[in-house]
């Protein structure tokens, strides 16, 4: 099992930001995002904005394989982009679905579970 840490999340974020479609989204640099490992079964991950700074949390309890937490990280990055475009849109509404479609197409993630 891969160890999920804030550092591995930050490195994975940087990797994803170098790939399509993320590289075209003008995302904040990893130094401007807080990465937190949480211990909850209730959620795979979540993205928050606290005082203008994004915070991505990923549950180590819900992920036993790197590919799974990487997919969750990509999902949460979609929420950052969604907030950058239209902060008041529904959490998993039309805008999020379009962003998710692009990511799943490029990275081979399953849209049904993304």
Domain membership of residue 28 (yes or no) is yes
Closest Cα partner for 68 from 24, 112, 2? 2
Domain membership of residue 26 (yes or no) is yes
Q: Is the peptide bond before 21 cis (omega within 30 degrees of 0)?
A: yes
Is residue 14 pLDDT above 60, yes or no? yes
Q: State the average pLDDT for the chain.
A: 95
Domain membership of residue 55 (yes or no) is yes
Q: Which CATH number belongs to the domain containing residue 79 in this structure?
A: 3.30.2010
List the domain range (segments joined by +) for residue 82: 6-107
Mean pLDDT of 4-25: 97
DSSP character for 96? Answer: H
Q: Could you tell me the sign of the dihedral formed by the alpha carbons of 98, 103, 104, 106, in that order?
A: positive
Domain membership of residue 57 (yes or no) is yes
Q: Residue 100 is encoded by which pair of tokens?
A: 């998710």
Q: What percent of the chain has pLDDT over 90?
A: 93
pTM of the full structure:
0.95
- For 65-114, what is each residue's pLDDT tens digit? 999 999 999 999 999 999 999 998 888 999 999 999 999 999 999 999 99
Please count the structural domains in the chain: 1
Per-residue model confidence (pLDDT) at position 2:
62
Per-residue model confidence (pLDDT) at position 78:
98
Mean pLDDT of 11-35: 98
Domain membership of residue 73 (yes or no) is yes
Place of tokens 């692009």: 102
Is residue 1 pLDDT above 80, yes or no? no
User: H helices then E strands: how many in the chain?
Assistant: 3, 3
Domain membership of residue 112 (yes or no) is no
Domain membership of residue 60 (yes or no) is yes
Cα 15 → chain centroid? 12
């Amino acid at each position: 099992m891969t160890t999920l840490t804030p550092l591995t999340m930050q490195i994975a974020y940087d990797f994803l930001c170098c790939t399509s479609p993320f590289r075209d989204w003008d995302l904040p640099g990893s130094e401007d995002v807080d990465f937190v490992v949480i211990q909850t079964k209730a959620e795979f991950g979540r993205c928050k904005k606290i005082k203008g700074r994004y915070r991505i949390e990923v549950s180590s309890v819900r992920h036993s394989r790197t590919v799974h937490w990487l997919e969750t990280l990509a999902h949460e990055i979609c929420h950052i982009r969604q907030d950058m475009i239209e902060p008041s849109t529904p959490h998993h509404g039309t805008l999020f679905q379009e962003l998710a479609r692009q990511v799943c197409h490029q990275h081979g993630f399953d849209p049904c579970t993304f």
